[in-house]
Structure 1
Amino acid sequence: MLWYHIVFLALIQGLTEFLPISSSAHLILPAQLLDWPDQGLAFDVAVHVGTLMAIIWYFRSDLWKIICAWVGSVSGKGCSNDSQLAWWIVLATIPACIAGLVFDDFISTHLRSIEVIAYTTIGFGVLLWLADRFGHSNKTQRDFALNSVLAIGLAQALALIPGTSRSGITMTAARSLGFNRETSARFSFLLSIPLITAAGSLKLIELMSSAIVVDWSSLIMGVILSAISAYLCIYLFLKWLNTIGFFPFFIYRLVLGVILLLMVYA
């Protein structure tokens, strides 16, 4: 990989992992549209580590309280809002983990095309806008229940399809269930932590069992750039979300999807 490939892909991963526009699609497209070499497994692991570091650091205070409360609930010290949130995160993560184990090979073989990305980018972008535009906004974290958490978890499993966007589909589900924007985004971001950890761990195991030659300087650059860009993205997104809403992301997805379809059918 050339240096500007590394910079571009690391920044793209950091910026798109938590925005509702699909990081997987944006990492697939450069190789297909620009005839760049595939970034490879090692680089995928590196940029996932970078985004994981960013989300953990941003929510470090919240995570400490959630983990301590969860340990307390397991050891019989009683439940609290934070311990309940920990159990909700675990529960909502299960469907995506199961779907990944069952369908990963099929998705990698049949659904990583520009055409699929174009349709999912448009379709799930429309759903995001509709949920944000017409969904109620009176529910907060205290209103999470088993059915709503399972619905968000099942929606997250759809994000295995390139172009769907993990953050986008979970926010769509939460908004359609009546949760306000801040609660929807915060829960979506917290949900990303176990999922990115699991996906990164599987990639790391695969990497360690392969004979891939690792370019450590490229990987370190990828980790640093993806971490910085992801942290800034999380900060600005949460700061501006209530002001701008999801409409700009819907427009972006619509324009990108139409351009991709024109390229496919031209």
Structure 2
Amino acid sequence: MCTPLDPNDPRYSMDFVMPSMKMISACRADDFDFFQPFIAAGKLTVEQMRHAAQRYHLGKTKSGQPMYWMIDDMLQPLDAHIGQDAWISQLLKKREPLLQYWQVHHCLFGLHLLTNTNLTNNTNKKFSNSPILDSEKKDSFDSFDSCSEEKPICVVECESSAVVLSELFPDSIWMAYCTVPHLDIQLFEPLQGRTVTIYPCTDPCMSNILFFEELCDSVRKHYDITLSVDRTLEDHATDAQKSRHIDLLDFLLESLADSADINDQLTSN
């Protein structure tokens, strides 16, 4: 787990013109609707929701929209995705004319989890290519404060999915790319030397997974990353689910709604 932000950090002296640690602290929140179905199903607890919100430094706007902060591996806030279609950089530029010259840079959501973590290496568990197929991970919440240099990294599209999955499958570091237009191979540079699996949303014509397979080819040419694209949704999602472009968390939630054991359902196919 990332260590708490130090109030004596010099970045706290910054005002609210640019993304800062002070801005993150001012909007911190611990209660999010996207956790509620898993809490209601008894798969996660309120304590785990608060733990994940703290680890990812989640916030909320005054209107209740979740704020997903992009904090890089140097613990520098770069931007925040607000809800599904707004960015704090856009709002700040509207408020401050001088910021029109600000060149906004992004990173993978959750990248800060690589820095300032407790590298105790107290677990040697690893995910398979499809972590939801690995029965050893089910209900193993005793290690969700541990972090190891050997932990695999899983990348999904939605930030909310990464946050929830980090508690369902704590033996991996979960990140999100947020939107496909936001993707750039340079976002993967800090992940060099790591094992990374991308879990794209599914679609009826396989365009998304083919896009990511091509992206992975490009990333591997530039960086030393063990990178792969997971095909769980492509192999197990129904045609109806694919037509709705569901992601990994949607698939898990709908499996719970059908009262099916996730691991048994997948391994039987």
Q: TM-score range by the shorter chain?
A: under 0.3
Quick one: higher RCO (CA 8 Å, sep 6+), 1 or 2? 1
Greater per-residue helix proportion? 1
Normalised by the size of structure 2, how large is the TM-score? 0.26
TM-score by length of 1: 0.27
